Amino acid sequence: MRRDIITSAIGIIVLTILLGLAYPLLVTGVSQVAFPGNANGQQVHVAGKLVGSKIIGQAFADPKMKNGKVVEEKGAVVTEPDPRYFQTRPSATEGGADNAAASTFSNLGPNSKATEEAIAEHIKGYLELEGPYNPGLSAARVPVDAANSSGSGLDPEISQANARIQARRVASVRHLSLVTVDGLISKYTSDRGIGFSGEPGVNVLELNLAIDRLTGATR
């Protein structure tokens, strides 16, 4: 008994130093040297300014204005999608969409009225935004990724089907040819993992920045 207590006490301290300090420091140190870009979150800079992480979704939205004032709800600024940009997936993160300091699931159940309402609202928003540029677009043709919240709430990608629908709006608003925009979509579509696993996805941040570069848009 006594022996076990002494060994346990020493053991937990020694192992905490080895596994809790030495191990994370070793891994983080090696990573910082070997893969500094990845280890620091694949930060994207434009003109020297940090505009996001390549693999973290962000809201391409503007503050909603009413009578020249920013609308606030529960202390958070209400935003609406910026039609010049491709939009990321619906996000249920706390404190507003795409909050990368508090990732959250929507936790909406399969048989809940609340789920139906949330999906219906996403569909409505999508149709309002894309409908004018996609004649004949109906709820039945909305890709699921545009109507369902992502898991992390920070999904950096959208489906190709979703991107092709949004391309018509972006091309029209930005005065670009649809062929050009579609070409960029293909360029920023990631393949499946090892050729067969997962789904291809379009990286929204990279795509939007490419379009900005093409049109010479400045913020």
Partner 1 sequence: MTFLGWLTIVLFAVILTALAIPFGSYLANVYTGKRVFLTPIFAAPERFLYKVLRVDPHREQDWKAYAKSLIIFSLAGWLLLYVILRTQDGFYVPHSLNPLGFESAPWNVTFNTVSSFTTNTNWQYYSGETTMSYLSQMIGLTVQNWLSAGVGIVVAVALIRGIVGRTGKSLGNFWQDLVRTILYVLAPLSVLIAIVLVSQGVIANFSNYLTVHTVTGLTQSIAMGPVASQEAIKMLGTNGGGFFNTNSAHPFENPTAFTNFFEMLVVLLIPAALVFAYGRMTGNRRQGYAIYATMMVMFLGAAAVAYIAEAHGSPAQHAAGLHTHVLAGSSGGNLEGKEQRFGIAGSALFDVVTTVTSCGAVNSAIESFTGIGGAVPFANLSASEVIFGGVGTGLYSILLYVLLAVFIGGLMVGRTPEWLGKKLEAREIKLAGLGILITPLAALLATALATASHAGRVSISKAAIGPQGFSETFYAYLSQANNNGSAFAGYTGFIQPNAGNVGSHGVTFADLLGGFVMVFARFAPILFALAVAGALAGKRVTPAGLGTMRTDNPTFVVLLIGVIILVGALTFFPALLLGPVVQGLTSHLY
Span 34-63, contacts to partner 1 by CB under 8 A: 34-35, 38-43, 46, 49-53, 55-63
CB of 184 to partner 1, least distance (A): 15
Which of 129, 130, 134, 152 is in the footprint of partner 1 by CB under 8 A? 152
- C-alpha–C-alpha distance, residues 180 and 182, integer Å: 5
Residues numbered 2-21 forming contacts with partner 1, rule: CB under 8 A: 3-16, 19-21
| CB of 144 or CB of 214, closer to partner 1 | 144
User: Rounded distance, CA 216 to CA 137, Å?
Assistant: 30
Among 32, 65, 72, 132, binds partner 1 (CB under 8 A): 32
| Residues in the chain, total | 219
Residue 139 sits in the site that holds partner 1 (CB under 8 A): yes
What DSSP designation does 192 have? P
Q: Among positive and negative, which fits the CA dihedral 85, 88, 89, 92?
A: negative
Q: How far apart are CA 208 and CA 193, in angstroms?
A: 23
Q: How far apart are the C-alpha atoms of 94 and 152, rounded to whole Å?
A: 11
Position 209 contacts partner 1 (CB under 8 A): yes
**Which residue, 84 or 133, has its beta carbon nearer to partner 1?**
84
* Site residues (CB under 8 A) for partner 1, limited to 187-206: 190, 192-194, 196-201, 205
Q: Which of 126, 123, 202 has the alpha carbon at shortest distance from 160?
A: 202
Q: Is 89 in the site for partner 1 (CB under 8 A)?
A: yes
Is residue 71 part of the contact set for partner 1 (CB under 8 A)?
Answer: no
